[in-house]
Amino acid sequence: MSIQTVSTQPFSDQKPGTSGLRKKVRVFQQPHYLENFVQAIFDTQPLQGGVLVLGGDGRFYNRQAIQIILRMAAANGIAKVLVGQGGILSTPAASHLIRKYRTQGGIILSASHNPGGPDEDFGIKFNASNGGPAAEKITEAIYARSKQIDSYRLLQADDLDIDRLDIDQVGSSQLGEMQVEVVDSVKDYAELMQHLFDFELMRSFFDNANFSMCFDAMHAVTGPYARYILEELLGAPPGSVINAQPLEDFGGGHPDPNLVHAAELVAMTRGSKGLDFAAASDGDGDRNMILGRDCFVTPSDSLAIMAANARLIPGYAHGISGIARSMPTSQAADRVAEALELPCYETPTGWKFFGNLLDAGRISLCGEESFGSGSDHVREKDGLWAVLFWLNLLAVKGHSVATILKEHWARFGRNYYSRHDYEAIDTQAAEGLMAHLRDQFSQLPGQEIGGYRVSYADDFSYSDPVDASVSANQGIRIGFEDGSRVVFRLSGTGTEGATLRIYLESFEPDPAKQHEDTQEVLQPLIAIAEQLAQIRQRTGREAPTVIT
Ligand code: G16
């Protein structure tokens, strides 16, 4: 075996987005494309002589990418790589492995909730030794290196072809000087969940014949985890986990757990015979959607409810230190924090911004409107963890999901919330729309628009309270005197054109006033968003692509 130094040239489009580098598979399949980015990681991170975790969500190109990265790791002096069996690791499970085995970091291959297949998406990101997505200064260093790269290192051997190293059998092998250990990706994660939740209580709750539930793994990475934990350990009836087999193209579906892409599951919760509980997770297992009979728990409400009830769950029985939410997430969690006298932080979109707060013990729970919730047990959002949190809560309270929601709103008031996405719009038009908003926001405070008085308007800037780093231009926030908000930002995870996201929120303190139709409640704010941003005129679209 020998180490080959391969000459290459930089690509101009390797700037990581909200969560790593995401592109079409065909882009990643270009000669040197994946290799350049991986070498940029090895060149900038202190990984030599260390241990690396490696795995992905099992999508198309996952296996080939793992073989390439293993050979590059061996050529770059990595001592040992822990690979998920079959190349599969959910994102939260990878975060846990990095933390549990104190590795120097990990490489996660995923385009999350984006579709998979030869014409669809692929992605790669680096997680640091705390188990979390690399902070901005790390991703910037990797990007800067990728722009200068002129060679990468690869282990070569005459009898080594790219798909050859066995990653399907648990056990250890050598690749040159480097040890490759294939690990059971489910076991360690299941153990962690058993530390946090009351499995005995949930098991007896599942025995109750009146409780019906379903978990939709969307043919993505959580299938094996959910089968083992929900069906084997907790005794949910076989078949409670559907679409459990991870597939390279997610069965042709869009592995995004929301009301649009998990419509079949939503239908199973409707009507008097609807399921008591249903949930779904995304491509790489970090997102979650929670449903009860005839009801949907918005991710923002889910975070607030978890925070309000944390002491009922064994892993958080001693209380939580604080809460954080991303800026566009509704302010429901803020109301809980205020009532419980807990610190509450508003961070930019992106899980990486929670890392410092979690590491410093300033927060125990955090969440995002984009179907993400998590805690200090790992440094990623965690889909199955959220599902178990809710199941544990249902078992303790003995109430339905709908009752838990109503009780919460009665105590804290209700934040009506929705996100409108305009996907794959022209990039220039999207940037023009944001520039138009940036030109006018400073004149908005004090003005009355559509019957609402603006109390503040800004382009959100975050100053990290732990390391004082500043992240500016994170989205336009317009807040009104009654607590309503409209937020505009461009997505950092799309792979086609630009995606404009508009986040709408209004607050109703009176529990007697419950409205069925969230869109109707938010209609005045939807009209204000149109008026301020000229969405139709600038994007040429009459309506959003996805409303959640
Ligand atoms: C990623 C990030 C999240 C973020 C989401 C949406 O999630 O980890 O923090 O909220 O993207 O980002 P954007 O609005 O920029 O598209 P995932 O599940 O895709 O890794």
Of 412, 431, 462, the residue at which a domain comes to its end is 412
Q: Which residues lie below 8 Å from residue 223, measured CB to CB, with a gap of 6+?
A: 217, 241, 243, 244, 245, 246
Instruction: Assess whether pLDDT exceeds 90 at residue 397.
Output: yes
161-182 pLDDT, tens digit each: 555 789 999 999 999 999 999 9
Q: Which residues lie below 8 Å from residue 288, measured CB to CB, with a gap of 6+?
A: 257, 279, 280, 281, 299, 302, 371, 372, 373, 382, 383, 384, 386, 387
What's the 493 CA to ligand 1 centre distance in angstroms?
A: 6
User: Comparing C-alpha atoms, which of 372, 193, 214 is closest to residue 285?
Assistant: 372
Q: Which atom of ligand 1 approaches the CA of 114 most closely?
A: 19
Q: Which atom of ligand 1 approaches the CA of 326 most closely?
A: 10
Mean pLDDT of 35-64: 97
Both 40 and 100 in a single domain?
Answer: yes
324-348 pLDDT, tens digit each: 999 999 999 999 999 999 999 999 9
pLDDT score at 142: 97
**Residue of the CA atom closest to atom 9 of ligand 1:** 350
Q: Which atom of ligand 1 approaches the CA of 370 most closely?
A: 10
Q: Which of 112, 281, 349 to mutate to test the pocket of ligand 1 (most atoms within 8 A of CB)?
A: 349
pLDDT score at 69: 97
Q: pTM for the full model?
A: 0.95
What's the 370 CA to ligand 1 centre distance in angstroms?
A: 7
Q: Which residues lie below 8 Å from residue 144, measured CB to CB, with a gap of 6+?
A: none
Phi, psi at 136, each rounded to 5°? -55, -40
Structure tokens, 49: 């002589």
How confident is the prediction for the chain on average, in pLDDT?
95
- Domain CATH code at residue 370: 3.40.120.10
| Helix 383-397 × helix 199-207 angle, to 10° | 70
Both 363 and 224 in a single domain?
Answer: yes
**How many whole angstroms separate alpha carbon 503 and alpha carbon 133?**
24
What's the 4 CA to ligand 1 centre distance in angstroms?
A: 36
Both 256 and 274 in a single domain?
Answer: yes
Least confident of 73-87, 152-166, 306-320, 444-458: 152-166
Both 218 and 161 in a single domain?
Answer: no
**How many whole angstroms separate alpha carbon 366 and alpha carbon 307?**
9
**How many whole angstroms separate alpha carbon 402 and alpha carbon 392?**
15
86-111 pLDDT, tens digit each: 999 999 999 999 999 999 999 999 99
Q: Which residues lie below 8 Å from residue 523, measured CB to CB, with a gap of 6+?
A: none
Distances (CA, A) of 79 to 15, 50, 54, 166, 533: 28, 5, 13, 18, 53
**Residue of the CA atom closest to atom 18 of ligand 1:** 112
Both 246 and 129 in a single domain?
Answer: no
User: Comparing C-alpha atoms, which of 345, 348, 370, 339 is closest to residue 357?
Assistant: 345
- The answer to whether the CB of 112 is under 6 A from ligand 1 is yes
Both 248 and 139 in a single domain?
Answer: no
417-450 pLDDT, tens digit each: 999 999 999 999 999 999 999 999 999 999 999 9
**Residue of the CA atom closest to atom 19 of ligand 1:** 112
What's the 114 CA to ligand 1 centre distance in angstroms?
A: 11
- The answer to whether the CB of 349 is under 6 A from ligand 1 is yes
- The answer to whether the CB of 491 is under 6 A from ligand 1 is yes
pLDDT score at 186: 95
pLDDT score at 162: 52
Amino acid at position 124, single letter: I
- The answer to whether the CB of 501 is under 6 A from ligand 1 is yes
Of 146, 164, 183, the residue at which a domain comes to its end is 183
Q: Which atom of ligand 1 approaches the CA of 286 most closely?
A: 18
Of 183, 218, 249, the residue at which a domain comes to its end is 183
- The answer to whether the CB of 493 is under 6 A from ligand 1 is yes
Query: How many other C-beta atoms lie within 10 A of the C-beta of residue 31?
Result: 9
Both 405 and 443 in a single domain?
Answer: no
The 3-state secondary structure of 85-110 reads EEEECCHHHHHHHHHHCCCCEEEEEC
Residue 209: give the domain boundaries.
188-412
275-310 pLDDT, tens digit each: 999 999 999 999 999 999 999 999 999 999 999 999
261-271 pLDDT, tens digit each: 999 999 999 99
User: Comparing C-alpha atoms, which of 331, 318, 302, 325 is closest to residue 389?
Assistant: 302
Both 395 and 256 in a single domain?
Answer: yes
What's the 328 CA to ligand 1 centre distance in angstroms?
A: 12
Task: Provide the pLDDT confidence category of residue 362 given band limits of 50, 70 and 90.
Answer: very high
Q: Which atom of ligand 1 approaches the CA of 369 most closely?
A: 10
Number of domains, the chain? 3
Structure tokens, 172: 């250890």
Both 350 and 438 in a single domain?
Answer: no
- Name the catalytic one among 19, 95, 110, 112: 112
Query: What string of DSSP letters covers 250-309?
Result: GGGS----STTTTHHHHHTT-STTS-SEEEEE-TTS-BEEEEETTEEE-HHHHHHHHHHH
Query: What string of DSSP letters covers 368-417?
Result: ETTTEEEETTSSS--HHHHHHHHHHHHHHH---HHHHHHHHHHHH-EEEE
112 is known as an active-site residue: yes
Both 46 and 178 in a single domain?
Answer: yes
Q: Which of 493, 499, 548 to mutate to test the pocket of ligand 1 (most atoms within 8 A of CB)?
A: 493
pLDDT score at 19: 87
Phi, psi at 95, each rounded to 5°? -60, -40
Instruction: Assess whether pLDDT exceeds 90 at residue 235.
Output: yes
Both 7 and 85 in a single domain?
Answer: yes
Both 385 and 418 in a single domain?
Answer: no
Angle at alpha carbon of residue 16, lines to 10 and 22, rounded to 5°: 95
What's the 157 CA to ligand 1 centre distance in angstroms?
A: 39
Element (H, E) at 156: strand 151-156
**How many whole angstroms separate alpha carbon 342 and alpha carbon 101?**
32
